[in-house]
Amino acid sequence: MNLRNIAIVAHVDHGKTTLVDAMLWQSGTFRANQDVRERVLDSMDLEREKGITIMAKNTAVTYSPQNLEIAVKGQDGPHPAGDVKINIVDTPGHADFGGEVERTLRMVDGIMLLVDAAEGPLPQTRAVLLKALELGLPAIVVINKIDRKDARAGEVLDEIYDLFIDLDATEEQIDFPVLYSVAREGKCTRSLDATLTDLRPLFETILEHVPPPSGEPDLPLQVLVTNVQPDDHLGPLAIGRVVAGTVRHRQAVTVCGRTGSQTPAAVSKLFVYEGLGRVAVPSAGPGEIIALAGMEGVGLGESIADGEDPKALPPLDVAEPTLSMEFGINDSPLSGKDGKYLTSRHLRERLLDEARKNLALRVEATDSPNRFLVYGRGELQLAILIEQMRREGYEFSVGMPRVLTRSVEGDRHEPYELALMDVAEEYQGVVVRKLGTRRGVLAQMVTRSSGRVRLEFEVPSRGLIGYRTEFLSDTKGTGILTRMLIGYRPWAGEIVHRATGALVADRAGRVTTYAINNLQSRGELFVGPNETVYQGMLVGESSRGADLDVNITRERRQTNMRAASANAYEKTVPPRRLSLEQSIEFIREDELIEVTPAQLRLRKRHFDPHERKRSAA
């Protein structure tokens, strides 16, 4: 059978997973009457909730014109055997999950670059395309969402050509085929003047422009491990591409570690991908994307080689992390009420397991056995990890994100990012002003006929911590913000993280309506009546710059001297509930987030106010 391996690369929400859904339908993977949710590849709960792809997914379709004809007509019955298998990898489009994209590119022979017909190529599109071009992968460009009212497919195509030239693409790489699509309807065309029909032009373009895998089936086995997935029955599954040789069920192999170690193992199960699932097979040859059971202890980027003549492949390297967060046990007075996994041993094992599965994460011990430093590529990546852990039943605390600096010739350097914003003209002023206070420098500004402005800023990474929520508020939810790491530059100076102080509970107890009514003028509260608080817990944001210790459990004094009118109704303002991302953006260096399966609470590192003063001195 002919074989093609292709990755879909695009920025978040440009339609990658939707297009894969349509390819699965039109290849006959699903029955005509099958009930399938939208975005079938977004299998994680968090992916479906947030509408973004977090983990790279593998799937495969078997294409033939007859299969497509039957599927498009909505028929069931025996499908003719297809003659080309296409392994498709749907990759994340957010900058924080770039580690997933980098691993994916090592498994494929070509990429499908999907670009929104209105937004054009965005920073993460540029970053991933650069890696693909460096690997010599040919590209197929698909301009999606051409049915949008603000679509500008011609201009976007020119921007894509400019992007390829800027990235020093070869003449062969710049001579890419272009298709125009409406992925939501499962239609595409080779020309804007032609009628949209189905995805036949896309399938044919893949067969024409993506080369079949190379590799000799008779050479000693070499498999590059690009992912490790847990399985309740089979243990960890090593997922990767067969670079050379043939792998067989029950074959003796050698796991070649990143440090040069060699560990014997045996293939207890061998799978390839068909549709959305895995299928056990007796053998698989060069170019096939496989999943192997029986590879205990295998890590990302390592090799699985022949048992008798092991030859390791070059290990995978992923760009270094740019920030860190402190993870620790939950030592608050309310610890242990919600979670199943509470101890430092549980926390350490879970974090190390995540680091084994994700090369873009790194875990280090600290001078305390109860706290660990986790390094990552961005706030969203670490927020997703925190949310996954709380849903698994973990209780822990996390600190404020800190950017990682470097010393260059004795000078302190920090990571800088390219922040690209698409906003309505009326919000241009406030965005420029806010980023100016965060040490951002305006690099480019383009005004469009649609009344929107594209702004490009070069900003220190720490200047963007906490900015996304503020940006969406300033642009009334209509702005688009994307970012990409551009390197390290000299330290930009002080950036004010949060101008306001916090309202801090000065004692434990239950929140009373009477106390809330007395404190509402002091700031915005995070808690409501009858909620349990403890000393040192943040119960609100102060309207002033300094922290304020407050008694939020205070009750009305009961005497028989009060008139009935004294108990008149007082309006209580509903509390402001912070999401996990908003909590990460809110806290200062002396504050923590208490994370449990049921609650998110903000607190001071030191519960006692006297200890806080001594620590700050």
pLDDT in tens, 443-467: 989 887 778 888 999 999 988 887 8
Q: Compute how many other C-beta atoms are within 10 angstroms of the C-beta atom of residue 129.
A: 24
DSSP string spanning 438-503?
A: TT-EEEEEEE-TTSEEEEEEEEEHHHHTTHHHHHHHHTTT--EEEEEEEEEEE------S-SS-EE
Q: What is the pLDDT averaged over residues 215-235? A: 84
Tokens in use for 407?
Answer: 């010393």
List, in sequence order, every residue forming a beta bridge with 188; answer none if it has no partner.
Answer: 181
Q: What is the pLDDT averaged over residues 321-330? A: 92
- Pick from 41-50, 127-136, 521-530: least confident: 41-50
Q: Which homologous superfamily does the CATH classification assign to the domain defined by 502-616?
A: bipa protein (2.40.50.250)
* CB of 422 closer than 8 Å to CB of 480: yes
Domain spanning 2-209 has what CATH number?
A: 3.40.50.300
Residue-averaged pLDDT of the chain: 83
DSSP-based three-state secondary structure for 1: coil
Task: Provide the pairing of β-strand 139-144 with 110-116.
Answer: parallel
pLDDT at residue 9 greater than cutoff 70: yes
Query: What are the backbone angles phi and psi of residue 475, rounded to the nearest 5°?
Result: -100, 15
Least Cα distance to 602 among 498, 484, 505 occurs for: 505
Torsion of CA 469, 471, 476, 480, to 10 degrees: -100
Asked: is 406-490 a CATH 3.30.70.240 domain? The reply is yes
Least Cα distance to 71 among 176, 174, 200, 192 occurs for: 200
Which pLDDT band holds residue 69 (cuts at 50, 70, 90)? low
pLDDT at residue 560 greater than cutoff 90: no
Q: Compute how many other C-beta atoms are within 10 angstroms of the C-beta atom of residue 426.
A: 12
pLDDT at 468 (0 to 100): 80
Q: What is the pLDDT averaged over residues 127-153? A: 88
pLDDT at residue 187 greater than cutoff 70: yes
Least Cα distance to 24 among 51, 60, 77, 64 occurs for: 60
Collect all residues with Cβ–Cβ distance below 8 Å to 486 and sequence separation of at least 6: 416, 417, 418, 458
Collect all residues with Cβ–Cβ distance below 8 Å to 401 and sequence separation of at least 6: 323, 324, 325, 379, 382, 465, 584
Query: What are the backbone angles phi and psi of residue 417, rounded to the nearest 5°?
Result: -130, 150
pLDDT at 54 (0 to 100): 45
pLDDT at 32 (0 to 100): 46
Domain with CATH 2.40.30.10 in the chain: 222-306
Least Cα distance to 421 among 448, 394, 382 occurs for: 448
CA distance 100 to 94: 10
C-alpha count within 13 angstroms, C-beta hemisphere, residue 288: 24
Choose between 319 and 192: higher pLDDT.
192
367-379 burial string, b = 16+ CB within 10 Å, else e? eeebbbbbbbbbb
DSSP-based three-state secondary structure for 231: coil
CA distance 486 to 340: 41
* CB of 358 closer than 8 Å to CB of 300: yes
Give Cα separations from 405 to 110, 459, 566, 587, 597 (angstroms): 36, 15, 58, 20, 33
Which pLDDT band holds residue 604 (cuts at 50, 70, 90)? very high
Three-state SS sequence of 495-561: CCCCCCCEEEECCCEECCHHHHHHHHHHEEECCCCCCEECCCEEEEEECCCCCEEECCCCCCCCCCC
CA distance 37 to 35: 7
* CB of 23 closer than 8 Å to CB of 199: yes
pTM exceeds 0.75, yes or no = no
Domain with CATH 2.40.50.250 in the chain: 502-616
Torsion of CA 20, 22, 26, 27, to 10 degrees: 10
Asked: is 222-306 a CATH 2.40.30.10 domain? The reply is yes
pLDDT at 482 (0 to 100): 78
* CB of 80 closer than 8 Å to CB of 67: yes
Domain with CATH 3.40.50.300 in the chain: 2-209
pLDDT at 319 (0 to 100): 67
pLDDT at 430 (0 to 100): 92
pLDDT at 56 (0 to 100): 53
C-alpha count within 13 angstroms, C-beta hemisphere, residue 464: 27
